[in-house]
Amino acid sequence: MTEYISIPAVTAAYGFALTASH
């Protein structure tokens, strides 16, 4: 379960970081 939710969670967090960075 953790592995399944980890991928989209990290991707969303990374995308959010890029959006907040700009």
pLDDT in tens, 1-22: 666 778 888 899 999 999 987 7
Check residue 2 and give its pLDDT.
65
Cα 16 to Cα 1, 2, 6, 10: the distances in Å are 22, 20, 15, 10
Tell me, what DSSP letter sits at residue 11?
H
What's residue 1's pLDDT? 63
**pLDDT confidence of residue 15:** 92
Q: For residue 10, how far is the Cα from the chain centroid?
A: 3
